[in-house]
Structure 1
Amino acid sequence: MDSLLPIGELARRTGLSVKTIRAWSDAGLVPPDARTPAGYRRYGAEAAARLELVGTLRELGLDRAAIRAVLARESSPAEAAAVHAEALEVEIRALRRRQAVLTIAARRGSDAAELALLHRLAVLSVEEQGHLVRDFVDAVFGYGLRAPWTAGVVRSLTPELPADADRERIEAWIEWAELARDPEFRALLRSMAEEYETGRTAGGPPRPDPVARVRTVVAPALAAGLAPGDPGAAPVVAAVLACGEAGTLLARLEGMNDPRRDRHQELLARINGWPPPEPLAPVLAWAIEALRQSASVRK
């Protein structure tokens, strides 16, 4: 027994406390190799290495059952690490969602009802997320609007939240889900889709979309810092007027000039990891002002 170490010496060599070694010993993780007639524990040469392994596994968060399996060679450290890493990933995902909910609630000053709604949206299962997306798409493009041209638009309106999404993506998903559930926002996009469909020729090639034409002619003026009333903007104003009948075009642009539309596109880009979209609101505002000034001049 002279070659065996008392618990105090083992503690000195390993840097662990006597209390910790005694607790792990009582748990069966590092049992003593012998005891003195007085009942004092004695440990063999392998005890220090065993204690180091237990300490490492404990710091990594493995529970006693997993550690005991590794020590008994029922599983390898790599196998135990893989199982624990998977469990941690699930926990981390849940924590990210909680963090996103709390961050939004704190920023908004949410009451209890809104906090509960945010939480419900954050913890939707993959199946529930898919149901919400499909319901949203059907509200916008269903009931006779599933024309061939809608396929690409539907893809551009579909969020795909990754399983390992970070807090920023989860925040974007929660806000997107709120918008997608909003009947007024659904009606807005539905109206835009119907107007676009109306502007197409039945069975023939699509007519140029006036909003897309407006964007094309106005964007350079915006980049150059021109306002609709500036002398140098006259050709751009004329080009806007050529995009459609002034009253009809003005009504359509005013109907589209809703900040929720740009916000929706921004949220989709964040969720799906797309490049940030170019906002349409500045173009619409410029063209609307140009059309209003033109109407005023004609009067």
Structure 2
Amino acid sequence: MTSSTAGDASWSIGELAARAGVTVKTVRFYSDQGLLPEAGRSSGGHRRYGPEALGRLRMIRSLRTLDLPVPDVGRALERDDALADLVADRLRELRPQLVALRWREAALHLLTDCSPEERARRLDLIGAMGLPPDTDVLARFWRRWLFPARLPAPLLAGIVDVAVPAPPHDPTPAQVLAFGRLRAIVTAPCPPGVVDRPPAPRRFRDGFRPAVLYSGLREAYDLAAPELRAGRAPVGGEALDRYVAAWADAGGARDSAAFRRRLTGVLADEPRLDHYWDVVSELATPPGAPPEPTPGAAEAWLREALTGAGPRAWTTADSDPPGRRTPP
């Protein structure tokens, strides 16, 4: 094959490959795909390329370096406005892949510097939840717990959003472990008669209105949050009054000393939920900062306040009006 001269405006396939720093096989492949225009053929039928093919070949190499598929490379070469759209699409595809890689990296770090027994336990947690973690199992647990058939959809969604933390895009090893623990908490079998008992609202009589309860509890938790942040001991006050009122309103009862005594008997510690909220607090709290109040922490604080507050003083008869429902 005769080399081109200064007056020759075309190059052979080998000359183009040498100028671009690629193999002849690469040039032939892109030519066969219709991505490299030929300037013509030699008298022997060999392909010849003009100088514009060199710039196009370099552009193809750059786009392929970004892992754009060959058909997308062709579209980018045909239309000036196509490249921006293709880059945006590729970024959207890469984001979940990058998140998955970060979770795997954090999980690998989690398996270092621990005993063989602890490493095996952590591997079990990682394998059960997957990476990144699927939080649907957590959401299903809370929907089953919260009277899903009797709660308005917006209220149910709001509660689940608070109860189910969103996995971070760039997790730490501790966060990987925390999500594994959350999944284990909601999927582990419960000791009979201890943490598998129904939630307190389900121990009320027919006619109990859970939507009224959970709306009121949300307000009570908000009132209790400053007390928790300040580290104050559980005491009576506005937060506790709103907490008791939420239960009374939901059951069609009146807040009274007698009601509070009965409510104390109905409410009980929920070890599984307490453990769950402890882990959620770890996820929500930056290292070295005080624990961030969660609904679970507020619930425990208010239950303790109810138990230790003693009977509330009343100026009217300490009984429930006729027709009102009270806890069993």
Q: Normalised by the shorter chain, which TM-score bucket? A: 0.5 to 0.7
Instruction: Measure how far apart 1:60 and its partner are.
Output: 2.5
Report the CA distance shift for 1:183/1:147 in structure 2 as closer, same or farther (over 3 A): farther
Report the CA distance shift for 1:200/1:217 in structure 2 as closer, same or farther (over 3 A): farther
CA deviations 1:131-158 (Å, max 9, x no partner) are x46753565357xx84447983465226
Q: 2:319 maps to which residue?
A: none
* Aligned partner letter, 1:103: A
Q: 1:194 maps to which residue?
A: 199
Question: Are the aligned partners of 2:100 and 2:132 in contact in 1 as well (CA < 8 Å)?
Answer: no
Q: 1:4 maps to which residue?
A: 9
Instruction: Measure how far apart 1:27 and its partner are.
Output: 2.4
Report the CA distance shift for 1:64/1:91 in structure 2 as closer, same or farther (over 3 A): same
CA deviations 1:15-40 (Å, max 9, x no partner) are x8553264532324447646889999
Q: 2:57 maps to which residue?
A: 51
1:157 correspondence with 2:160: yes
1:183 correspondence with 2:182: no
Q: Secondary structure at the match of 2:22?
A: helix
Question: Are the aligned partners of 1:96 and 1:167 in contact in 2 as well (CA < 8 Å)?
Answer: yes
Q: 2:275 maps to which residue?
A: 260
Q: 1:281 maps to which residue?
A: 297
Report the CA distance shift for 1:77/1:115 in structure 2 as closer, same or farther (over 3 A): farther
Partner Cα separation in structure 2 for residue 281 and residue 58 of structure 1: 53
* Aligned partner letter, 1:61: D
Pairing 1:111-190 to 2, within 5 Å after superposition:
111=119, 115=123, 118-119=126-127, 121-122=129-130, 132=137, 136-137=141-142, 139-141=144-146, 146-148=149-151, 152-153=155-156, 156-157=159-160, 166-168=169-171, 176-184=182-190
Instruction: Measure how far apart 1:262 and its partner are.
Output: 1.9
Question: Are the aligned partners of 1:136 and 1:180 in contact in 2 as well (CA < 8 Å)?
Answer: yes
TM-score of the superposition, structure 2-length normalised? 0.50
Q: Secondary structure at the match of 2:51?
A: coil
Instruction: Measure how far apart 1:285 and its partner are.
Output: 5.0
Question: Are the aligned partners of 1:54 and 1:67 in contact in 2 as well (CA < 8 Å)?
Answer: yes
Instruction: Measure how far apart 1:57 and its partner are.
Output: 1.9
* Aligned partner letter, 1:107: L
TM-score of the superposition, structure 1-length normalised? 0.54
* Aligned partner letter, 1:54: I
Report the CA distance shift for 1:124/1:57 in structure 2 as closer, same or farther (over 3 A): closer
2:100 counterpart (97, 102, 106): 97
Question: Are the aligned partners of 1:33 and 1:44 in contact in 2 as well (CA < 8 Å)?
Answer: yes
* Aligned partner letter, 1:262: W
Question: Are the aligned partners of 2:20 and 2:57 in contact in 1 as well (CA < 8 Å)?
Answer: no
Report the CA distance shift for 1:113/1:261 in structure 2 as closer, same or farther (over 3 A): closer
Percent identity of the aligned residues? Answer: 17
* Aligned partner letter, 1:252: L
Question: Are the aligned partners of 1:219 and 1:283 in contact in 2 as well (CA < 8 Å)?
Answer: no
2:68 counterpart (59, 62, 69): 62
Report the CA distance shift for 1:123/1:198 in structure 2 as closer, same or farther (over 3 A): same
Report the CA distance shift for 1:156/1:101 in structure 2 as closer, same or farther (over 3 A): farther
Structure 2 unmatched ranges of 5 or more = 245-255, 286-290, 311-328
Structure with a larger share of its residues in helix: 1
